Amino acid sequence: MAYTFFHLIFFIFLIPLCSLAQNNGRVPLGSILTANEASNPWLSPSGDFAFGFQQLEDKDLFLLSIWYHNIPDKTVVWYVNSSDSVPRGSTVKLDAQIGLVLRDPQGFQLWSTNAISNQLDHGFMNDTGNFVLKGRDNSSLWESFSFPADTILPLQELETGSVLNSRHSETNFSQGRFSLRFLDNGDLVLTARTLPNTTYDDVVYYDSQTSKPTNTSNSGYRLVFNRNGIISIVTSNNQTEQIGSPTLFPPVSEDYFRATLASDGILASYYHPRNSTGNQNWTVLWSKPDDICDTAAAATGSGACGYNSICNLVNGRPVCECPDGYTLLDPNDKYGSCMPNYTQSCGEVEQGTAGELYDFVVINGADWPRSDYQVMTPSTEVGCREACLHDCFCAAAIFRNNTCYKKKLPLSNGWNSGVLNPVAFLKYRKSDAPPGIEGSSSRPKDRETLIVVESVLLGSSFFLNILLIVAACSGFYLIYKKNIVKSHPNGETNLRYFTYKELVEATNGFKEELGRGSFGIVYKGELQISSKSSAIAVKKLDRVAQDTEKEFRAEVNTIGQTNHKNLVRLLGFCDEGQNRLLVYEYMRNGTLSSFLFTTPKPSWKLRTQIAMGIARGLVYLHEECSIQIIHCDIKPQNILLDDYYNARISDFGMAKLLVMNQSRTLTNIRGTKGYVAPEWFRNTQVSAKVDVYSFGVLLLEIICCRRSVEDIESVEEGYAILTDWVWDCFQERRLDTLVENDSEALNDKTMLERFVKVGIWCVQEDSSIRPKMRKVSQMLEGIVEVMVPPCPSPFAS
């Protein structure tokens, strides 16, 4: 009993005394350190280095580590790579069987040096900063130098295959993004990875290019950090390749040195005066890479900073910055990713005009040189901005070297490039509540304006070949005209001005006629656009109302500001006296009219896609472009097909170009028989719903591949007028009659029925019953349910 008691006393007093007293670096077997403030680390003979628990910022967490003990910063040079911090009360023991063992306060083993056998004699904290487990034969069984964390020290040597991992941040020692790997081939590379478990990104920030010739033997290759702070790679024939040359005169060799791969990805060699007066600090001797922000070769990964961040090089180190409108995902990780202050969504764009919803943060000089999803060249700064504004996928655009690069999130490898003076446009949403959500009616007034057409039906027959209509659309012009200046202070567009002579040359003297519309003749032409020959369509206007050049240009600008994949794009115009011409991109596949009414019928799938495309184009014209445009003449002749058979609406905005003065009003013509909404003929309100009606007729034509009005004597009663015929078939549940011999459509009954129902909804005589184009588009796409439509003309006999 007394014996045991004696031992207890002995252990309580002697062991702490031992740890205090020991400064020969020897650590006997069975020694234990506990993670708390009172813990005395195991010191090296000189006291320069200590092994033990270092208290972290969070006072209840400790790090098992080796640090410089004689300087105020107690700079950590080694730690256990697999367990960043441990709670108060954790222990580390030098165990005879397994060497160093780290346990949490409950005694659960967190880490060990493992497999030391029972040869272990003692531990030793060397003055070099190396903690060594010595065997009975004085051999080294384990040393911390062989398992570096993020730092190497003078006299430390690494074999090929060794890795330094950066820590997560200055004070968080879990594994960070960067790794310095001494590859088996003798190359030293600095790479990054996104997550600890993932493979390395293919971005190499630094490469020593010291890989050995293929046939030489592996032995002898090692990385050496010398007493003067220089890293060298020693090759098998004893040649040395120095990594990083100090720009300063090398400091005195008594100084402390270390080379650390910091959490910002910079590998640097530092020195620190040995006799610290308290004010001195670590000074950088050299660092690699030279500019970590420049990751020109990066294909994946975020770059030195996180996603959506901008990297600035300050004194050789990256300083990451979230652009305006973006904030750090993790506020404690300044090198982390930034998130935008809005959620990008294509659905949302459709709730209002892009211009109302979004604006841009403009950053001169910033560039995210990777991950473009679209490149437009040539382009202008204004054109680039507009293109991004109206593209719901576009989160940012970079304008550089006359080229527009559209980007989606997340942006990567952001930096201030200074090369080619890039301008970055970052989209943000102006307010949280997008205007114009159905029902909330916060849409500005000018979008919903209806006007009373002061006309009465002047013709006597419904089928007047030419409908005499008071320029209802011109009325829109008068109302919207005021808004032009308001909504477009600059009126800037990407339009090119052509001289008449240029267009004469481009069209070879107006030789090849493409078609005749109500405004004039369209000619085919060729144009050199950025050293490439492109086909164009030149429309020669024969009746233009605007008296002054200014008005004409204002209107042309309005058209030029539109940008949608389902609209024919206006490239430019000519305005020389009486010669007023519009230049459009050429649509290789002609009009929908010539495509649709052929045998065999074109594919049902393609037809449905075309219909949906037209609907989207109209949604844009009605609700999304900066000034509402009512087409007034939707018909198959005005829908063109591009190389990929995308529907492209043409001739929009023309109503405005045709405004006549009072006396000439009656000669102004718009609308085409068979497609014109009934309200044209009544003294009633006319709105964008006229386009919905025309679209409905067009949709039914697309479904049936027949014209809205057939002149032929028909076997079937009521066949002549398409809308009547469709209604009859629909009522009698004979949809198959509508698509006779069209097996593709017959096999797609659900879609067929949906399309027919939408078509009938659109051709309702009562314009208030007709859905808006947005709803039409959603119904076609199956996003919203389609109710059973009522009879389109309840007032008819």
Ligand X SMILES: *[C@@H]1O[C@H](CO)[C@@H](O)[C@H](O)[C@H]1NC(C)=O
Return the number of the residue (163 or 183) whose C-beta is nearest ligand X: 163
Instruction: Based on the shown chain and the rule CB under 6 A, indicate whether residue 275 belongs to the binding site for ligand X.
Output: yes
CA–CA separation, 267 and 205 (whole Å): 10
CA–CA separation, 39 and 56 (whole Å): 14
Alpha-carbon distances of 482 from 470, 489, 655, 660, 685, rounded to whole Å: 21, 12, 16, 17, 21
Strands 647-649, 423-429: pairing kind: unpaired
- Contact pattern from residue 503 through residue 532 relative to ligand X, giving x for each residue in contact according to CB under 6 A and a dash for the rest: ------------------------------
Instruction: Based on the shown chain and the rule CB under 6 A, indicate whether residue 465 belongs to the binding site for ligand X.
Output: no
Return the number of the residue (184 or 542) whose C-beta is nearest ligand X: 184
Find the shortest distance in angstroms from Cβ 751 to ligand X: 39
Q: Which DSSP letter does residue 709 get?
A: B
Find the shortest distance in angstroms from Cβ 626 to ligand X: 20
Q: Would you say 241 and 208 are in contact if contact means Cβ atoms under 8 Å apart?
A: yes
Return the number of the residue (105 or 590) whose C-beta is nearest ligand X: 105
Find the shortest distance in angstroms from Cβ 412 to ligand X: 19
Instruction: Based on the shown chain and the rule CB under 6 A, indicate whether residue 199 belongs to the binding site for ligand X.
Output: no
Instruction: Based on the shown chain and the rule CB under 6 A, indicate whether residue 82 belongs to the binding site for ligand X.
Output: yes
Return the number of the residue (325 or 789) whose C-beta is nearest ligand X: 325
Find the shortest distance in angstroms from Cβ 127 to ligand X: 6
Site for ligand X in 320-349 (CB under 6 A): 324-325, 341
Which one of 242, 253, 401, 741 is in contact with ligand X (CB under 6 A)?
401
CA–CA separation, 63 and 87 (whole Å): 9
Instruction: Based on the shown chain and the rule CB under 6 A, indicate whether residue 361 belongs to the binding site for ligand X.
Output: yes
3-class SS of residue 547 = coil
Instruction: Based on the shown chain and the rule CB under 6 A, indicate whether residue 767 belongs to the binding site for ligand X.
Output: no
**Total residues binding ligand X (CB under 6 A):** 36
Instruction: Based on the shown chain and the rule CB under 6 A, indicate whether residue 197 belongs to the binding site for ligand X.
Output: yes
Q: Which long-range contacts (CB under 8 A, 24 or more apart) does 13-21 make?
A: 16/40
3-class SS of residue 636 = helix
* Residue among 633, 642, 691, 742 flagged as catalytic: 633
Burial category of 175 from C-beta neighbours within 10 Å (exposed 0-12, middle 13-18, buried 19 and up): buried
Return the number of the residue (164 or 621) whose C-beta is nearest ligand X: 164
Which one of 2, 59, 314, 432 is in contact with ligand X (CB under 6 A)?
432
Q: Would you say 10 and 110 are in contact if contact means Cβ atoms under 8 Å apart?
A: no
Which one of 29, 155, 204, 409 is in contact with ligand X (CB under 6 A)?
155
Token readout for 16 is 């702490």
Q: Which region among 274-282, 390-398, 636-644, 648-656 touches ligand X (by CB under 6 A)?
A: 274-282
> Is 48 marked active-site?
no
Return the number of the residue (252 or 299) whose C-beta is nearest ligand X: 252
Contacts of 670 (CB under 8 A, 6+ apart): 467, 469, 471, 472, 473, 518, 632, 633, 655, 658
Return the number of the residue (55 or 589) whose C-beta is nearest ligand X: 55
Find the shortest distance in angstroms from Cβ 455 to ligand X: 46
H helix or E strand, kind and range, residue 479: helix 472-487
CA–CA separation, 618 and 691 (whole Å): 8
Q: Which region among 167-175, 299-307, 382-390, 644-652 touches ligand X (by CB under 6 A)?
A: 167-175
Return the number of the residue (270 or 755) whose C-beta is nearest ligand X: 270
Using the CB atoms, write b or e for 763-776: b if 16+ within 10 Å. Answer: bbbebeebbbbbbb
Instruction: Based on the shown chain and the rule CB under 6 A, indicate whether residue 85 belongs to the binding site for ligand X.
Output: yes
Q: Which region among 166-174, 456-464, 479-487, 649-657 touches ligand X (by CB under 6 A)?
A: 166-174
Binding residues for ATP, as ranges, are 540
Token readout for 795 is 């007032």
Closest CA to 367 of 266, 318, 429, 295: 295
Instruction: Based on the shown chain and the rule CB under 6 A, indicate whether residue 277 belongs to the binding site for ligand X.
Output: no
H helix or E strand, kind and range, residue 216: none
- Torsion sign across C-alpha atoms 377, 586, 473, 679: negative
Site for ligand X in 95-134 (CB under 6 A): 124, 126, 128, 130
- Contact pattern from residue 714 through residue 743 relative to ligand X, giving x for each residue in contact according to CB under 6 A and a dash for the rest: ------------------------------
Return the number of the residue (8 or 375) whose C-beta is nearest ligand X: 375
Which one of 28, 30, 72, 790 is in contact with ligand X (CB under 6 A)?
72
Closest CA to 587 of 560, 618, 566, 604: 566
Q: Which region among 82-90, 346-354, 630-638, 664-672 touches ligand X (by CB under 6 A)?
A: 82-90
Site for ligand X in 645-674 (CB under 6 A): none
CA–CA separation, 64 and 112 (whole Å): 12
Instruction: Based on the shown chain and the rule CB under 6 A, indicate whether residue 281 belongs to the binding site for ligand X.
Output: yes
Instruction: Based on the shown chain and the rule CB under 6 A, indicate whether residue 218 belongs to the binding site for ligand X.
Output: no
Binding residues, as ranges, are 540
CA–CA separation, 22 and 502 (whole Å): 94
CA–CA separation, 628 and 432 (whole Å): 23
Q: Which residues bind ligand X (CB under 6 A)?
A: 61, 72-73, 81-82, 84-85, 124, 126, 128, 130, 138, 147, 155, 163, 165, 168, 172, 174-175, 197, 215, 237-238, 254, 274-275, 281, 324-325, 341, 361, 401, 420, 428, 432
Task: Give the residue numbers marked as catalytic.
Answer: 633
